[in-house]
Amino acid sequence: MIASAPLDFAGLADTLRRVTVAISDDGAARGSGVLWPRGHVVTNAHVVRRSRVIIGTVESDHLQAELVARSVDDDLALLRLVGIELPTARLTETAARVGSLVVAVGNPLGLRGALTAGIVHGIGPITRNGAPWIHADIRLAPGNSGGPLADVSGAVVGINAMVAGGLALAVPIARVLEFVRSAGVAPR
Amino acid sequence: MDALLALSTELAGAVEQAARYVVGVNARRRFGSTGVHWRPGLIITADHTVEVDEDITVTTPDGRTLAATVAGRDPAIDIAVLRVDAGDLAVAEIATEPARVGHIVLAIGRGPRASWGLVSAIGDGRRRHPETGDWLSLDLTLYPGFSGGPLIDARGRVVGMTTSGAARHFQIAIPAGAVGRTVDELMRRGRIPRPYLGVGGQSVRLSEALRERLRTDQRSAVIVVDVQPDSPAAAAGLMVGDVIVSLGGARITEPGDLRSVLRPQQVGETVTLSVARGGDPRDVRLTVGERTRRS
């Protein structure tokens, strides 16, 4: 049964905005990123095309980050923050369930920190025998790329990467962990 | 955030519950649709997704393939009923109360795949099928292959069958009550009878003067161009040139309406047609016949 407490999407949005960044590489905002692991940002490979980028948080713009690793196949990139300490996102420890609520925070069409809500639609490959993706029934737009898909406890379950057939596709957190480890960075 | 977590867990639980009785239906060339194990051995799906009458299979949640036969069809409300040897396949739990505007609902497709949203309205504004109960208009996305699948409430109980085929641009569900009545009819008669009038027609525009005389605001009706011999229409005295304005209280604006407003359970019943003959309104009483396989 649902408790009588309010459904606090606003509180959830605040939590996630603190660990979501905007990324630009030539002045124009290109996408979003997640503050994780400590001292780093994960985002999509297609968001980062230069070795140095500018990131913006809820508190300050014009922070610098440099590219550590990039995988076009997984559409993931890892950035290192230069000379600044920032909060770190919490990751999910459980597998996503079809039907569970998810939210996305990002910068769709340049709108900073926008929240959308939906559910996990399915989990599976998008090409025959490919790696699994999280398919979410949630509205995303260009600028959400690289941002968090999170459960309603605020834990990140995937990195939003693209929209196909009206569905959002996110890289599952397990694959993000592998990518970060292979880049020689401790995943915490 | 506890309430959000509770809701999230409830929705995921509802999908898991539904996944036990949702099957894939393989009855068209391109890609399959979805079906619901409504009663033991009976699968319901969207009629428009059943393009063949033979070599139909359903895919169970655990991946088995079962042969299926068409037990009955009701194209008027886009329902087909398939018969399978279901074994221990779980049977859907049907909600006892009708859905309400504002309820959170989930549409489930084979897989399972899920989408969520709200019941945004009841009825599509036209009330074409007053006796079936109104369609549920949905504020959610029916993804390819979802047609024929269940619309469920947050507890995993079926409140309707989704279809995108009956009304383009609308995401709708046939209420569970209407689906149940169709299945009842099938059980009672052993088949879903197809209503038969024996009349052919064409759309015709109603002039301002005729609209006034008929006391209607509808802009078109159907002019009879053919009355089949020995048909219900012939027995009722319907004549070529009659303009059919309504049938059993439902508007007739195009020839397809003659088929879509009639329900299987109306076979054998007498309905009233409002017609204009030589510009004069009159009522014609007609006993609905049953279409045989050949007619």
Cross-chain CB nearest to A3 (options B2, B115, B141):
B2
- Taking residues B25-53, report their average pLDDT: 93
DSSP symbols for chain A? ---SS---HHHHHHHHHTTEEEEESSSSEEEEEEE-STTEEEE-GGG--SSEEEEE-SS-S-EEEEEEEEETTTTEEEEEESS-----PPBP-S---TT-EEEEEE-GGG-TTEEEEEEEEEEEESSTT--EEEEEES---TT-TT-EEEETTS-EEEEEEEEETTEEEEEEHHHHHHHHHHTT----
Is the predicted pLDDT of residue B131 greater than 50, yes or no? no
- Which tens digits make up the pLDDT trace of B210-231? 899 888 899 999 999 999 999 9
Mean of all residue pLDDT scores within chain B: 89
Are β-strands B289-290 and B280-287 bridged in parallel, bridged antiparallel, or unpaired?
unpaired
Cβ distance of B141 and A6 shorter than 8 Å: no
Q: What is the pLDDT of residue B222?
A: 96
Helix (H/G/I), strand (E/B), else coil: B182? helix
Which residues of chain A are within 8 Å of residue B16 when distances are taken between CB atoms?
Answer: 97-99
Mean of all residue pLDDT scores within chain A: 92
Candidates B76, B77, B19, B29; CA nearest to B56 is: B29
Cβ distance of A99 and B4 shorter than 8 Å: no
Give the closest-approach CA distance of B84 to chain A in angstroms: 27
Which residues of chain A are within 8 Å of residue B6 when distances are taken between CB atoms?
Answer: 1-3
Which residues of chain B are within 8 Å of residue A2 when distances are taken between CB atoms?
Answer: 3, 6-7, 10
Cβ distance of B1 and A152 shorter than 8 Å: yes
Residue B243 tokens read as 């303009």
Question: Does A177 lie at the interface with B, CB-CB under 8 angstroms?
Answer: no
Q: What is the pLDDT of residue A126?
A: 86
Residue carrying structure tokens 């759309």: B203
Poorest-pLDDT segment among A38-42, A176-180, B86-90, B123-127: B123-127
Residue carrying structure tokens 């600044």: A84
Question: Does B115 lie at the interface with A, CB-CB under 8 angstroms?
Answer: yes
- Taking residues B34-54, report their average pLDDT: 94
Cβ distance of B11 and A99 shorter than 8 Å: yes
Which residues of chain B are within 8 Å of residue A153 when distances are taken between CB atoms?
Answer: 1, 5
Is the predicted pLDDT of residue A118 greater than 90, yes or no? yes
| pTM, 2 dp | 0.79
Give the closest-approach CA distance of B182 to chain A in angstroms: 29
Q: Quick one: closest CA in B to A98, which residue?
A: B12
Is the predicted pLDDT of residue B141 greater than 70, yes or no? yes
Q: Is residue B221 within 8 Å of B204, Cβ to Cβ?
A: yes
Residue B292: count of CB within 10 angstroms of its CB: 9
Give the closest-approach CA distance of A131 to chain B in angstroms: 17
Q: What is the pLDDT of residue B294?
A: 47
Residue carrying structure tokens 């009629």: B47
Cα separation, B83 vs B255, whole angstroms: 32
Please list the residues that pair with B67 across neighbouring strands. B57
Q: What is the pLDDT of residue B169?
A: 64
Which residues of chain A are within 8 Å of residue B12 when distances are taken between CB atoms?
Answer: 97-100, 120
Is the predicted pLDDT of residue A176 greater than 80, yes or no? yes
Cα separation, A159 vs B172, whole angstroms: 32
Positions of A annotated as catalytic residues are 46, 75, 145
Encode burial over A77-87: b for 16+ CB neighbours within 10 A, e otherwise: bbbebeeeebe
Are β-strands B42-46 and A63-71 bridged in parallel, bridged antiparallel, or unpaired?
unpaired
- Looking at this predicted complex, what is its ipTM? 0.85
Q: Is residue B79 within 8 Å of B66, Cβ to Cβ?
A: no
- Taking residues A107-128, report their average pLDDT: 91
Whole-Å CA distances, B262 to A152, B48, B74, B131 = 48, 17, 10, 10
| DSSP class of B74 | E
Q: Quick one: closest CA in B to A168, which residue?
A: B115
Candidates A40, A33, A21, A31; CA nearest to A80 is: A40
Cβ distance of A119 and B114 shorter than 8 Å: yes
Question: Does A152 lie at the interface with B, CB-CB under 8 angstroms?
Answer: yes
Helix (H/G/I), strand (E/B), else coil: B176? helix
Cα separation, B104 vs B139, whole angstroms: 10
Residue carrying structure tokens 């040897």: B85
Q: CB contacts < 8 Å between A and B, how many?
A: 88
CA dihedral B48, B49, B52, B57 (to 10 degrees): -150
Residue carrying structure tokens 């997704």: B49
Q: What are phi and psi of B174, to 5 degrees?
A: -85, 125
Q: Is residue A31 within 8 Å of A38, Cβ to Cβ?
A: no
Candidates B278, B191, B282, B267; CA nearest to B232 is: B267
Is the predicted pLDDT of residue A3 greater than 50, yes or no? no
Give the closest-approach CA distance of A154 to chain B in angstroms: 9
Candidates B149, B166, B155; CA nearest to B74 is: B166
Cα separation, B116 vs B35, whole angstroms: 18
Q: What is the pLDDT of residue B295?
A: 41
Q: Is residue B230 within 8 Å of B199, Cβ to Cβ?
A: no
